[in-house]
Amino acid sequence: MPKRSEFYPVGFAFVICAVASLLLASVSQGLKPMQELNMGLDLKKNILRSVKLTPPVPPHASPREVTQIYTDAIQLAVIDDQGNIVPGKKPDDIKGRQGLYPLFIYQKGGIVQGYCFPIEGKGLWSMLYGYMSIEPDGKTVRGITFYKEGETPGLGGEIEALWFQKNFEGKKIWDDVRQQTVPLAVAKGKVQDRMPKEKWPYYVDGISGATLTGKGVSALLESWIRTYEPFFMKLHRN
């Protein structure tokens, strides 16, 4: 083997890195349209899941079928910070505008079945993204989904699990006695063991081993329920 200069390893490493970067960049660019299509479709599926679409989307529905179901069931709207629906605006128009929030309205046979809005916030390690749906009364949770997170699998990652999301259904975000909004929160452990009975409607079961992810979820619920509170108040009056 010929003798190599002491700079050879550096040069070699540099070339390898350059080739690898070039390769990865082109793969990533080449597959991007397909990946974005998938992501868009996933959002639609999650919105449909959070509003508890009946009947639910068939598990092997083609992208076109999902889009069709979505367009038929969901009406897109935008609300301002006073809770008024801004006429003629779509969620896509919001980008970067302050004080405007997207709203997805689930209708069936011309009757509103639920209102859905995006939620996001910090968990323990990562940002959590999901959708929450409220019944037309503006007081009761209809459903919730989390579709993107980077929490510990098996612990915080359980927020994507069905049992965790199911335990939000029917919970209250409005206290009828005190006449005020009660942001839903994640309990430490089982609600039935940890909380006095009158608080049951306002807490969901926590995930054991994931207290900090639970705190993150509570914080993001608080922030987003407060954001949409003016809109819910208007629903109460109707």
Partner 1 sequence: MAIFGKKEQQIVMDGIWNKNPIAYLVMGICSALAVTVKVETALLMAIGTSFVLSFACMVISFLRNYIPSNVRIIIQLTVIASLVIIVDQVMKAYAYEISKQMSVFVGLIITNTLVMGRTEGYAMNNPPWPSFLDGLGNAIGYSGMILTVAAMREIFGSGTFLGHQVIPQAFYQAGYINNSMLLLAPGAFFLLAAIVCLQRSISGYKEEQQ
Q: Which stretch binds partner 1 (CB under 8 A): 12-20, 108-116, 118-126, 177-185?
A: 12-20
3-state secondary structure the chain: CCCCCCCHHHHHHHHHHHHHHHHHHHHHHHHHHHHHHHHHHHHHHHHHHHCCCCCCCCCCCCHHHHHHHHHHHEEEEEEECCCCECCCCCHHHCCCCCCEEEEEEEEECCEEEEEEEEEEEECCCCEEEEEEEECCCCCEEEEEEEEECCCCCCCHHHHHCHHHHHCCCCCECEECCCCEECCCEECCCCHHHHCCHHHHHHEECCCCCCHHHHHHHHHHHHHHHHHHHHHHHHHHHC
Q: Do 83 and 95 meet the contact criterion of CB atoms below 8 Å apart?
A: no
Compute the least distance from the CB of residue 29 to partner 1, in Å. Answer: 10
Q: Which stretch binds partner 1 (CB under 8 A): 35-43, 79-87, 90-98, 113-121?
A: 35-43
Q: Which is nearer to partner 1, 125 or 200 (CB)?
A: 125
One of 3, 35, 155, 156 touching partner 1 (CB under 8 A): 35
Number of residues that bind partner 1 (CB under 8 A): 21
C-beta closer to partner 1: residue 24 or 112: 24
Q: Is 170 in the site for partner 1 (CB under 8 A)?
A: no
Q: According to the binding rule CB under 8 A, does residue 28 interact with partner 1? A: yes
- Span near partner 1 by CB under 8 A; candidates 16-24, 46-54, 107-115, 211-219: 16-24
Stretch that binds partner 1, among 21-29, 68-76, 109-117, 174-182 (CB under 8 A): 21-29
Considering only residues 36 to 65 of the shown chain, the ones binding partner 1 according to CB under 8 A are 38-39, 41-42
- Judged by the rule CB under 8 A, the positions of this chain that interact with partner 1 are 1, 4, 8-9, 12-13, 16-17, 20, 23-24, 27-28, 31, 34-35, 38-39, 41-42, 153
